[in-house]
């Protein structure tokens, strides 16, 4: 994950630094946003019959910074990068579950073990490489590539862990920009980001089971953003 981000940032520094004559100027700024995070998934443990489905929804406030190369070669296209320097919880609460493992002898059913498990996930190190196109003087459309870390915070009865993974995705958006005084501007934008399907497996299986816990999930985020920037 860090290698991908380093490559993206190094590429942007080279592009921004070597193409001053090609750009119609540069912009920097910060954004405040309300993000609606939706995730759904299936946990499979032991065998295909031991499945648990879950769906979570969380609304959080996020902050990001951005830098852009504007109106490249007079095309109306701008290229930029946006970075969220904070983590956001996928769910506002920790999901907990208690499982009772049972065994059957003749007609008697006995409880052998009670297992307590909890899990939570957060989005971290969120980086977007994007391009915008000015449809009119004030209205633009946006498309981009997204990369982030998905950190899992769990307490499994097996003592294992899922670990953290890199997730990629694509984003689209529609926005409006208005100039303010002294080369400053304001911007509002609505965006939608769809991430690739997520598949993670725990490092350890429970006693007597050969298959580790497998989680398959999907994740998407809708955002409403407000930005303030400076052009130079």
> In this predicted model, what pLDDT tens digit does every residue of 92-113 receive, in sequence order?
444 444 444 444 444 444 444 4
- The pLDDT value recorded for residue 123 is 75
Instruction: Report the domain count for the chain.
Output: 1
Q: Is the pTM of this model over 0.75?
A: no
Residue 75 CA to residue 68 CA, distance in Å, equals 14
User: β-pairing, 77-84 with 88-89?
Assistant: unpaired
Which has the closest alpha carbon to 152: 4, 51, 41, 15? Answer: 41
The first and second tokens of residue 201, run together, are 């497996």
- Report helix, strand or coil for 227: strand
User: Can you give the CATH number for the domain in which 184 is found?
Assistant: 2.40.160.20
The count of residues in the chain is: 232
Per the domain annotation, does 207 fall within a domain? Answer: yes
Per the domain annotation, does 202 fall within a domain? Answer: yes
Per the domain annotation, does 75 fall within a domain? Answer: yes
The first and second tokens of residue 152, run together, are 């899992």
Per the domain annotation, does 98 fall within a domain? Answer: no
Question: C-alpha 123: how far from its chain's center?
Answer: 5
Do 168 and 133 form a contact (C-beta atoms < 8 A)? no
29: Cβ–Cβ under 8 A, 6 or more apart, which residues? 65, 66, 185, 187, 227, 228, 229, 230
Do 192 and 211 form a contact (C-beta atoms < 8 A)? no
Q: Which residue has the tokens 């002294």?
A: 182
Per the domain annotation, does 224 fall within a domain? Answer: yes
Number of neighbours of residue 5 by Cβ within 10 angstroms: 16
- The pLDDT value recorded for residue 184 is 95
Which has the closest alpha carbon to 144: 175, 122, 166? Answer: 175
Q: What DSSP element (H or E) covers 131?
A: strand 108-134
Per the domain annotation, does 193 fall within a domain? Answer: yes
The first and second tokens of residue 134, run together, are 């000015």
- Report helix, strand or coil for 106: coil
Model confidence over 131-141: pLDDT tens digits? 999 999 899 99
- The pLDDT value recorded for residue 91 is 54
Domain of residue 156: give its range. Answer: 2-18+25-92+113-231
62: Cβ–Cβ under 8 A, 6 or more apart, which residues? 32, 33, 34, 35, 84, 86, 88, 223
Per the domain annotation, does 102 fall within a domain? Answer: no
Q: Which residue has the tokens 């862990």?
A: 161
φ/ψ (deg, to 5) at 142: -135, 145
Per the domain annotation, does 177 fall within a domain? Answer: yes
- The pLDDT value recorded for residue 30 is 96
* Ranges in the chain, pLDDT < 70: 1-23, 45-50, 88-121, 153-163, 202-212
Which has the closest alpha carbon to 121: 164, 86, 82? Answer: 164
């Amino acid at each position: 994950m860090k290698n991908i981000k380093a490559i993206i940032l190094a590429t942007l520094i080279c592009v921004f630094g070597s193409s001053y004559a090609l750009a119609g100027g540069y912009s920097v700024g910060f954004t405040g946003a309300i993000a609606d995070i939706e995730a759904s998934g299936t946990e499979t443990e032991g065998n295909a019959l031991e499945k648990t489905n879950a769906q979570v929804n969380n609304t959080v406030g996020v902050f990001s910074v951005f830098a852009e190369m504007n109106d490249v070669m007079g095309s109306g296209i701008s290229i930029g990068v946006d970075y969220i320097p904070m983590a956001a919880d996928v769910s506002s609460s920790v999901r907990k579950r208690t499982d009772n493992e049972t065994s059957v002898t003749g007609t008697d059913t006995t409880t052998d073990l009670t297992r307590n498990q909890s899990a939570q996930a957060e989005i971290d190190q969120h980086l977007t490489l994007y391009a915008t196109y000015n449809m009119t003087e004030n209205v633009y459309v946006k498309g981009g590539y997204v990369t982030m870390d998905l950190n899992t915070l769990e307490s499994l009865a097996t003592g294992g862990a899922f670990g953290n993974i890199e997730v990629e995705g694509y984003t689209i958006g529609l926005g409006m920009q208005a100039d303010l005084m002294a080369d400053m501007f304001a911007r509002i934008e609505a965006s939608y980001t769809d991430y690739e399907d997520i598949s993670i497996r725990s490092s350890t299986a429970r006693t007597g089971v050969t298959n580790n816990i497998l989680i398959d999930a999907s994740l998407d985020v809708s955002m409403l953003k407000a930005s303030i920037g400076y052009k130079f």
